[in-house]
Structures are given as C-alpha cells and as structure tokens.
Amino acid sequence: MTDFLALAQPGVQQLSPYVPGKPVDELARELDLDPASIVKLASNENPLGPSPKALEAIRGELAELTRYPDGNGFELKSRLAVRCGVQINQVTLGNGSNDILDLVARAYLAPGLNAVFSQYAFAVYPISTQAVGAQGKVVPAQDYGHDLEAMLAAIDANTRVVFIANPNNPTGTWFGPDALERFLARVPSNVLVVLDEAYIEFAEGDELPDGLKYLARYDNLLVSRTFSKAYGLAALRVGYALSSAQIADVLNRVRQPFNVNSLALAAACAALDDADYLAQSRQLNDAGMAQLEAGLRELGLSWIPSKGNFIAVDFGRDTAAINQALLRAGVIVRPVAGYGMPNFLRVSIGLTAENARFLDALAKVLNA
C-alpha cells in the first residue's frame, strides 16, 4: 500500500490536527448525559447566545440561500472600514480569523522561510506555518506572556511573519501600548506583524493598545479580529483583517472566492450595529471573571491573570484526572497539555450559573 503520509509535504507530516473543545453532544453520548445538563466552558465562546439583531438578519437572508454570497463582502467591509477608520481596500474578510492567519501563511510563507511566535501561542500559528512548509520559530515566553524583546531577537533574514496575540490565548496575558510601540518600531519593515486581537473587545481601554491606531504608521502591520468572541457568532465563521491596501490585495489573491457565507455576512453587519449586545458581553465577562477569581481563590488555586474571556487555572500538578472528573460531572473545560501546560486547565467565562456550576464541581473533585 502506498504510504500517503510519507508523500505529504514534510511540514504536514509533522503536524498534529487542531484539538477543539469537546462538543456537548459528544460528552452526552459518551456518558449518557442529558445535553441540557452539560456546561461547556471550553472554547471561549460567548455565553449570551447570539444577538437578536443578528438572528433577525439571518432570517431575512434565508430566501436567498440558492445564491452565492457577495464574494467581496462589500456591505460588511464598508461598515468595518467606517468603524475602524480605514479605506475599504484595507479590509480582508475571513472564514473566521483562522482563515486570515492561514491566508497570511499561504501568501507570505514557504519552505526556507520562517514565522516567529511565542511559546504558549495560539495553536493555529504553528499549524498554518508548517502547512506551507515554513519553519515556526518558537520564542520562550516570559511569565506565560510574549517576550517581545526575545521575539525581535529571533527575527532573521528568512523571517517573513511574526504572530503576536493581545490578549493571548490560552494564557490571557497581554502587553501594553509602550511595549507594542517599541516592538513595531524595531521590527524590520519587510517582516509582516500579525497582531491577533481576537479578544480585544473584552479588554478595550484596559491597558491594552488598540492595534488599529498603528496601521497608518506601519504598513507591515496586519490587525486580525473576529466576530466569534465578543460578537457571539462563532458558528458562522467571520473574521477580518485590517492592513495596508497592498497586503489586503495580496491576501485577496489567495482567498477562496466565497470564503464568508451570506448568513454570516448579514449577521456580522447586524452584530456590528448592536452596541447593547457588545456592552452586555463585556459586562457579563467582567462579572464572570470576578466570580471565577473569587471562587478559585476560595479553593486555594492560582491562575494567570487574563484579559480574555477565559482564565488558565494552575493546579500545580498534571490536570488530566481533574479534567476527567469534571467531564463526569458534566462540565467541559479545556485541557492545555497540548500547549505545553499540563498543570493548567483553561476555563471560558460562562453565565453566572455556569461559572457557579464549574466552581461547585471543581470543589467536589478537589475534595473527593
């Protein structure tokens, strides 16, 4: 039999597939549980449910499902351009912001070239990098966060891309405006800086820089954002990039023609206008974070301070058994051993009752 793994390009042979949070239905099947009784705090999703305005927009779009979507996403791009203070030709839409990361890798990386990213960085950076045969240069983290100085030092003549996330997933760590400015000022102008702001709406105005402010000054900067988190549309897969018009043009060349579907386009436009929903998401997240921190403190646990909609809890020992016990209690959180953090579990902020359920289950597991 032909070994088709051996025939895959070397970068792909060494890849492990992305491991998503366990779906509720899967756990329900495995343990014969009622899906309604399961709490999922594993994928940094928005616990609010979708914006009613987004749902209404989707319903308005259903009769057109036989048609291809607007391949240029004109309406959404126009609104994003206004919102972000850029020209429409500086906006690239993605099938989730994952797609944006992948477009960057396909357009700018190749065998012999490399991308620099941090230890404990988002799993898609190495996947997209290796998938095109490029090398991922992993820079040791500092206190679980990005060591931007060390990342600068890691850039070499073959570096084409640096991926940085603010806040970072799975650690929740962040850097401030001064650190970003110092970094951008020193990255060689031929190296594309991908500033991944998937969680920025949870942290805006909170010690974190707004990446958009630097776009006019640095034409090697790309800011990537998403509708999956604070806007609550993870299932629809809509993300976007803001960059120079030239980089947007390059990404557009490798983009699949209809990468964002029509329901997603309509819902994203509506979600963008739903300021109340966004404010509620932020408020719920702030309150949930405080609730989890208080509960964890009571249990004598520590965690990495986070500006995202999740928190990485440090158990000081391997968490595989704790995770299994939580699953048996119907609570899904995210093991991060795959990120080199076997002593941690990442917990997404849920509704008040969901957070309480997690804390209660955890107390029982730890005291069993």
Chain contacts with ligand PLP (rule: CB under 6 A): 44, 96-98, 122, 165, 169, 196, 198, 226, 228, 234, 239
Taking CB positions, which residue lies at the least distance from ligand PLP?
A: 96
- Based on CB atoms, which residue is closest to ligand PLP, 333 or 361? 333
- Based on CB atoms, which residue is closest to ligand PLP, 44 or 306? 44
- Based on CB atoms, which residue is closest to ligand PLP, 226 or 323? 226
Please state the closest distance from residue 173 (CB atom) to ligand PLP, in A: 11
Say which amino acid occupies 148. Answer: L
- Based on CB atoms, which residue is closest to ligand PLP, 77 or 329? 77
Q: Which of 251, 245, 274, 278 is nearest to 93 (CA)?
A: 251
3-state secondary structure of 60: helix
Please state the closest distance from residue 34 (CB atom) to ligand PLP, in A: 27
Please state the closest distance from residue 87 (CB atom) to ligand PLP, in A: 23
Please state the closest distance from residue 64 (CB atom) to ligand PLP, in A: 24
Which are the contacts of 187, defined by CB distance < 8 A and separation ≥ 6?
Answer: 152, 155, 162, 193, 220
Rounded Cα distance, 184 and 75, in Å: 31
- Based on CB atoms, which residue is closest to ligand PLP, 100 or 329? 100
Rounded Cα distance, 165 and 167, in Å: 6
- Based on CB atoms, which residue is closest to ligand PLP, 90 or 228? 228
Report residue 205 CA to chain centroid gap: 19
- Based on CB atoms, which residue is closest to ligand PLP, 115 or 165? 165
Please state the closest distance from residue 38 (CB atom) to ligand PLP, in A: 20
Please state the closest distance from residue 297 (CB atom) to ligand PLP, in A: 25
Q: Tell me the torsion sign for CA atoms 170, 173, 82, 221.
A: negative
Which are the contacts of 263, defined by CB distance < 8 A and separation ≥ 6?
Answer: 58, 61, 62, 236
Phi first, then psi: what are they for 6, rounded to 5°?
A: -65, -25
- Are the C-beta atoms of residues 292 and 349 closer than 8 Å to each other? yes
Please state the closest distance from residue 231 (CB atom) to ligand PLP, in A: 10
Q: Centre a 10 Å sphere on the Cβ of residue 61 and count the other Cβ atoms it contains.
A: 18
